[in-house]
Structure 1
Amino acid sequence: MKASLAGRYASALFELARDKGSLDTVKASLDKIGDALDQSDDLQALIDSPAISRDQALRAMKAIGAELKIDALTQNFLGVLADNGRIGALGDAIRVFDALVAAHRGEARATVTSARALTDAQLKALSDKLTSRVGRTVSLDTHVDPDLLGGVRIQLGSELIDASVATKLNNLAKAMKG
C-alpha cells in the first residue's frame, strides 16, 4: 500500500502531520475532501481529467480548500499533488492516509457495504463483533450498494466477509448449473 504513488504521498503527509501533532486536524480535512469527492461527480471528473492542466488543478484545489475550510498542511498537500500532476491520486491517498492513522492508533479499518444504510445500533453491534474478532478497535467505513439486495460485504484488511444476498444467489445459480 505504501509503495504505490498515492501511498508515498500519503505517507509523507502522515509523517508531517504526526510530527506537527496535527493528525486529527489533517484527517478531518481529508474526510471533508473525501466526502466532497463522493458527493460531487463534477469534482471527481475534475481530478480524473487528463485535460486539466497543473495550473488549473492547483487553482481548483485552492478554491476547494478555501470552500471546505481545510487546514494549511492539507491545503499544501493538495497543492503538491496538483503541481506534480498527481491530483488523480487524491482518492487513493486519502484511503492510505486513513489506514496509516488507524494503524498508528492501534485500530483496524473495515469497509462495510450494505444494501441499505445500517442503523447506529447495527453499526455498533458490527463494530463490537469485529473488534472482538481481531482484538483491536475496528473503525467502519460504510457504503450503500442496492445491487447487494440484502446482507453485507465486509472488507477487513485482506479478508473479505461476503454475506450478501446477491453473492448467495450467484453461488446457488452456479451450483445448479454445475
Structure 2
Amino acid sequence: MADTFDGETSEAAGRYAQAVFDLAKEAKQLEAVEQDFSKFAAAWKESADLREAARSPLIEPSEKAAALTAVAAKLGISDLGRKAIGVAAQNRRAAELPAIAAAYRTLVARDRGSRQVEIVSARPLGEAEKSQIVEALGKQLGAKVEAETSVDESLIGGFVVRVGSRQFDASVKAKLDALRLALKSA
C-alpha cells in the first residue's frame, strides 16, 4: 500500500498541508488545489517512474523539484499546486507528497464541515454500495462524509474503512486471520 495516496500523516506533511491550505483558502482556490492533488494522486498511482523519482535520494532536490513541477504542469495542475509540489521536492519532502495530499484533503473536508474517509474494498464498489456505506458512516460520525475509494484484492471480500487513525475492518481476510488466530490458541 506504500504506492497509494494515503497513510499516516507525518508532522512535516501536516505542516505542508496546512500551509498549502492557508494559501489556497486565501486565494479562494481550495477546490482547485484539491483537484490538483487528485490529478497528481492518479499520476502517482499509475507511474512507478514518478514514485521512484520522487523517492530517489540520488536525485538532487532542485532537479527533483523541476521534474515534478514539469509533470504537474503536464497534468494541468494550477500554479499554486505546482508551487506546493515544487517546494515539497526542494525541501526533500517529495516522497511525502501522498501524505501531504491526504492531510490537505482532510483539512478541506473539515472546512466544509465534513469528514474525509477512505474505503478500501476487495472489488470496485457500485454507486449504491458506496452510498450505503457513506450514509451509515455519516450517521455513525454525526457529520457529512466525503469518501475516497480504492481496491485491494488481497482483502478477498468486504471492505476496510479508515477515518483518521481509526479503522473498521469488515474484510474476509480479517475474519480469516481472526479465525486462524483462534484456532492456534485453541
When normalised by structure 2's length, the TM-score is: 0.91
| Contact persistence 2:40–2:75 (CA under 8 A) | yes
Q: Which amino acid aligns with 1:128?
A: E
Q: Which amino acid aligns with 1:8?
A: R
Alignment partner of 1:92 out of 87, 99, 119: 99
| Contact persistence 2:10–2:99 (CA under 8 A) | no
Aligned to 1:19: 26
TM-superposition CA deviations, 1:11-43 (whole Å, max 9, x none): 100001011111011111111011110111111
Which runs of structure 2 are paired with 1:143-154 in the superposition (5 Å)?
143-154=150-161
Aligned to 1:80: 87
Work out the CA distance in 1 between the residues paired with 2:181 and 2:9: 37
Work out the CA distance in 1 between the residues paired with 2:92 and 2:175: 43
1:67 and 2:74 are equivalent in the alignment: yes
TM-superposition CA deviations, 1:108-155 (whole Å, max 9, x none): 111111111111110011111111111111111111111111011111
Which stretches in structure 2 are left out of the alignment for 5+ residues? 1-7
Which stretches in structure 1 are left out of the alignment for 5+ residues? none
Q: Which amino acid aligns with 1:65?
A: A
| Contact persistence 2:156–2:171 (CA under 8 A) | yes
Q: Which amino acid aligns with 1:174?
A: L
Q: Which amino acid aligns with 2:103?
A: V
Aligned to 2:174: 167
Alignment partner of 2:119 out of 93, 106, 112: 112
Give the % identical residues.
34
| Contact persistence 1:2–1:8 (CA under 8 A) | no
Aligned to 1:30: 37
Partner SS state of residue 102, structure 2: helix
| Contact persistence 1:65–1:75 (CA under 8 A) | yes
| Contact persistence 1:14–1:23 (CA under 8 A) | yes
| Contact persistence 2:44–2:51 (CA under 8 A) | yes
Structure 1 segments (4+ residues) deviating >4 Å: none
Q: How many residues align?
A: 178
